[in-house]
Amino acid sequence: MRAACSRTIDVGIPFPRLLHHDRFQPAAPPPTCAAQSQDELKRVAAHRAVELVQSGMVLGLGTGSTAAHALDRIGDLLRCGALRDIVGIPTSEWAAARAAAAGIPLSDLNAHPVVDLSIDGADEVDPALDLVKGRGGSLLREKMVEGASRRFVVIVDESKLVPRLGASGLAVPVEVMPFGWALTLRRLRSLFEGMPGFNLKLRTASTNAKANTFGENGFEPEPFVTDNKNYIVDLFFEDGIHGDLNLISDEVLRITGVVEHGMFLGLASSVIVARKDGVAMMEKKLNGI
């Protein structure tokens, strides 16, 4: 019980001084670091983020495997009295269920339109600390909560660092209305027409029984449905997204039928990176400093 109530990291991995993202350097690996799994490094990074939590805060509660460590840690600290009077705003139905199981009191943005601190993962992080999020399908609520936050701390492992958004070759999600989704998909295709290596597709619920028999019994796969009862169109870029991201964001959102996209531009305050040789923080540069 004593270890659970400690507000400091209890694993022998160093946390270097805060670093601007353009001067990011790896920490010297300690002897114990090689034995740590990637999930253990994520846990340490999540616990480091939770050290920023203070009693009385309104917290944005992230979604995903890394965020789960933060939720569990907050629950531990609440149970042992190291934290009190916390209110959590979940970014998904999954986060709401996980937080409730951890004993975190929950509310919503209607009651708490200003969030003190959000802690969440990301699918990609570029050198400017812009993000791709939403491959788990929770991008709309994540962006609403994290956009309402005074501070947004992102937790990732080093595989999520990319030279530009979309450069991992994995999906950049766009949440769309189910009504007329095929028309919205065609308009998204037209927007990026001519970009080398671009492709897109409607996300399907791969665990659906009909999807498993597609091509054998003539069934079409069921679309993936978000917590908001919308669909997702996944965009793929062979060499990432080139151009002005803010302009591209505006052009995507201008398409009727698009609800939101997974580019989180200018929202992250800092990024905690779990590396094989330790854990470090990337801080957003302010005023060119």
Show which residues are catalytic: 142
What is the DSSP track for 220-233?
A: PPPBP--TTS-EEE
Q: Quick one: tokens of 125?
A: 């992080």
Contacts of 111 (CB under 8 A, 6+ apart): none
Q: How many CA atoms lie within 13 A of 157 on its CB side?
A: 15
Looking at the DSSP assignment, which residues form a beta bridge with residue 264?
A: 131
Closest to 137 (Cα-Cα) out of 72, 70, 89, 204: 204
